[in-house]
A and B are shown apart, each in its own frame.
Chain A
């Protein structure tokens, strides 16, 4: 195995043009004398060239039409989704409103009943008081 003068990352930096001009020139000078480094650089280049030369895929025919169909389907589904969401939202709102009104009414009814009850009760108390007062007066009169 050959021993190279430079580390691997140096070769990649050279290929990517990331070396300072001075260093780059020095390396190019070095390559003229060092067969090992020159071979390694060529090997890296040819290896990476494999990726570049790899054949490209050919797009399928009518792929634009297929995409157009998908776009139209998506548009329809989003339209449907929008309508569905809107209907669902309105329905939920109606249900919420109904529940609120129902509870509000039932609370109101309870209040009314309670108020009526209170008035009845107070009427009973007052009547009873009057009755007791009458009785007292009757007693006093009898005593006299």
Chain B
């Protein structure tokens, strides 16, 4: 997806508060930010809220954007950080709910999963850590090179390689597990 490019002039205008220029930025990156956040938080409803939050953050911090960075990388970084921090808040709440559920209903532990009619990828993503989800999206969907991913996630290239390897392995394992269970 290398088509998401905007002229520097538009970014400069938007950074000075021009809302028409900012609308162009919004229209260009809306789909991208929405997909990124939906993959990381794995919740289609909340992804729309995250997207709005991301663009609000972008609008507020556009003045601090430096031209030496690629604009898409800069936006991705804001989106990933927003989605990750949102998820961590939600994780805590979910953990508490899940703990209570498992305590009260130990015999129906897998009931929720069987009722949910989610597709395979969503079900697998549910079991992956948030950092693996973001890595898989950036690499497999966006096909970004390792150095860009390392900039977005603020870690080294070798670290990206290792984490991506683990993420792919985990994805495959979970997929095999779900497929095997479905065949039974």
Contact = CB atoms under 8 A, between A and B. Distances in A.
Contacts of B140: 48, 51-52
Interface stretch (B51-59, B80-88, B104-112): B51-59
A29 interface: no
A141 B31 CA distance: 120
Contacts of A44: 168, 172
A57 B34 contact: yes
Contact of A63 (B38, B52, B60, B136): B52
Nearest to B38: A57
Contacts of B55: 67
Contacts of A74: 56, 60
Nearest to A43: B172
B27 interface: yes
A109 to B, nearest CB: 53
Interface string A52-69: 101011011001101110
A63 B34 CA distance: 11
Nearest to B33: A59
Contacts of B44: 57
Contacts of A52: 140-141
A67 B26 contact: yes
A63 B49 CA distance: 10
Contacts of A57: 34-35, 38, 44, 47-48
Contact of A68 (B19, B27, B34, B51): B19
B141 A51 contact: yes
24 contacts: A9-B165, A12-B164, A16-B139, A16-B146, A48-B140, A48-B168, A50-B121, A50-B175, A51-B136, A52-B141, A54-B122, A54-B141, A56-B35, A57-B34, A57-B38, A57-B48, A59-B30, A63-B52, A66-B52, A67-B55, A68-B19, A70-B56, A71-B56, A71-B59
